[in-house]
Amino acid sequence: MALYNFKKIMVVPPAKDFVDIILSKTQRKTPTVVHKQYKISRIRSFYMRKVKFTQQNFHDRISQIIQDFPKLDNVHPFYADLMNILYDKDHYKLALGQLNTARHLIDNVGKDYARLLKFGDTLYRCKQLKRAALGRMATIMKRQGPNLSYLESVRQHLARLPSIDPYTRTILLCGFPNVGKSSFINKITRADVEVQPYAFTTKALYVGHMDYRYLRWQVIDTPGILDKPLEERNTIEMQAVTALAHLRACVVYMMDLSEQCGKTLEEQVKLFESIKPLFANKPLIVAFNKIDVTPLSSLDDDRKLVLEQLIKDNKVMEMSTLTEQGVIEVKTEACEKLLATRVETKTRLNKTEGIMNRLHVTQPAPRDAKTRPPCIPDGAVEFRKKRLALLAAKKAEEEGDEGDSEEDEDQMEVEKKKTERDIEVEMGDDYILDLQKKYDLPEEEKYDTIPEFWEGHNIADYIDPDIFKKLEALEKEEDLREAAGMYTVPKIELDDTMQEICRLAKQIRDKKAIMRDEARIIKSSTKPKLPRTAAAKDRDRSVSRLRTQMNDLGVEPSESENAHYLKANKRGRSATKSPVATKRMRVDSEGRARSMSKTPRDEMGVKNPEMRIKLKDKAHRAIRKKVGKKGLKGEADRFIGTKMPKHLFTGKRGIGKTDRR
């Protein structure tokens, strides 16, 4: 039998929301545009896809609802009867059945209209067929509005039901209202059931959990039952009757001896007799509650006579949930009786055979005629003799005989070894668990700060005892080395050339930083941008300033090479070359004309010829390594950059620019 987790049932939406969810999903998940160049076959498949998608979504959603709700034939009889009491079994089955019928109708509508769409000859006809199909499906679903709302209310109520396991160890509390059932469950479990001084405070089943003998137990508090015929009992009382009938539990029938619940002892006994058939084959305890007000011994003869037959036939216990007198005894007795009953039932039903078949006692086969009695060590035999002598001495002492001192010594020797539990009970709150006292180490080493163990060995055994003396000698030696200046770093004196290079490099870095900041300020400013010719007036450019800066950087511009270009910059870009500059054109080794007046790029900023040669050599080596060994692209290779290919930008345009290029 399946056990359902009612809290995982899917939410059942109202009929209107149900239709909206499905249709919006169809709109989102299927194509939405028909273009004029589409063939009629493509238009048919376009609309058929929408119809089939909608039908499948309706089918899946309704199937999920039907599968999530428990089937009364498959669940435990306790849950089946409880749901019948709370929701009416016929109404529940009818709602699920009508939902199943609606699912089949929607499937048929989808199939019929998909077949009709195959013969659609125009776009208009196909569109109208799709519209009719979706409309009929939505109409079928809207007619299921009452069923869906009923199932949603059932789902919400099922989710609020307590998680009762019909197969686990259970203690069931029953009796008249206000006899102390809720107070009892609050005392023995972690439940927090409302307790009030009026009847029918508990209107549903409440479950609490506790531990006994390292096992999990559930205690169920049922609503109070009034003594009347079964058909006249209301929903609240029928929940208790259902639990009594179907759960394999130990029943604790609670009675109020003080009659503060508003019912006399005669009425409480009468109720017990009326529901006694529900206790068949279940362990039963009758608990007399509120003995702090009226104990059993203080009852008069007439009231004792009412309880006489009840006490004779059943196990009776007294308790008070207010003072907690007898509460633990009732709990223990109920648990023990239920455990004994479960073991007896399993033995009677031959469920123990599977366990017994797994146990096998080996008996060695006789090899020869020799007898081989069990071998008991001599120490064990001596211990047994002393034990018997000690028992005899104790018996004689109880009879009044005095033992001699030798027997006291034997007693000390044979005394049972104390366990940690015995020591804990003796010491009480002063007990502290000491794991180090059992270490196989000398007494003075047991409580060392670091007794580290690895693979069964104590690491402390492998430490050099003279380690600290050696460390001290090593530290002294290091101090002497430091004093002798062994670790001092020699101060490197820079020559004039290196100092000059460092100074120039610093100037270049500072100038770059200033230019970068100026560019950032100009770029981020909100002022209107001026043309380059107009902005050049404010740049404060002059030949003298340029010459000063070049001299500072170590480059000496000569009058003969650069005068023409400096003057040309003064006049403007349209200045023509002078005949002197034209004469000074030369042809280099590669046959290309190059102006003598312009400094080559690889010589700019480097005034030392040796350094220039060294830099050229280093650059050629780097290029040779990259191109020759690694086969990478070099300076002379032809390069065509990747354009924006059309295939990367095909398809629907997103939100943004309409220009694909």
121 lies in a domain? yes
Q: Which of 31-40, 108-117, 454-463 has the lowest mean pLDDT?
A: 454-463
Residues 188 and 310 in one domain: yes
190: pLDDT strictly greater than 90? no
The mean pLDDT value of the chain amounts to 80
Which of 348, 376, 405 is a domain's end point? 348
- Report d(CA 171, CA 580) in Å as an integer: 120
Q: What is the CATH number of the domain that holds 184?
A: 3.40.50.300
Question: pLDDT tens digit string along 287-306?
Answer: 999 888 888 888 888 888 88
535: pLDDT strictly greater than 60? no
What pLDDT sits at residue 140?
96
Q: Which of 126-140, 286-300, 477-491, 626-640 has the lowest mean pLDDT?
A: 626-640
Q: Which residue range is the domain that position 269 belongs to?
A: 163-348
541 lies in a domain? no
Q: What is the CATH number of the domain that holds 49?
A: 1.20.120.1190
Question: pLDDT tens digit string along 27-67?
Answer: 999 999 998 889 999 999 999 999 999 999 999 999 999 99
500 lies in a domain? no
**Number of folded domains that form the chain:** 2
Burial tier of 495 (Cβ tally within 10 Å: 0-12, 13-18, 19+): exposed
- Report d(CA 660, CA 597) in Å as an integer: 48
Residues 148 and 208 in one domain: no
Which of 322, 348, 374 is a domain's end point? 348
76-91 residues labelled b (16+ CB within 10 A) or e (exposed): bebbbbbbbbbbeeee
What pLDDT sits at residue 559?
54
118 lies in a domain? yes
35 lies in a domain? yes
Among candidates 146, 162, 157, 173, which has minimal Cα distance to 86?
157
328 lies in a domain? yes
Q: What angle do CA 406, 410, 412 make, to 5 degrees?
A: 115
The pairing of beta strand 170-175 with beta strand 250-256: parallel
What pLDDT sits at residue 174?
87
Give φ, ψ of 511 to 5 degrees: -65, -40
| The one-letter amino acid at 386 | K
Considering the chain, what percentage of its residues have pLDDT values greater than 90?
21
Residues 146 and 114 in one domain: yes
415 lies in a domain? no
Residues 152 and 266 in one domain: no
Residues 183 and 283 in one domain: yes
Which of 157, 190, 222 is a domain's end point? 157
Average pLDDT over residues 270-286: 85
Look at the pTM and tell me if it is higher than 0.95.
no
596: helix, coil or strand?
coil
Residues 49 and 124 in one domain: yes
209 lies in a domain? yes
Give bridge partners of residue 216 from the DSSP assignment.
211
H-assigned helices in 314-377 = 327-348, 353-358
Residues 212 and 135 in one domain: no
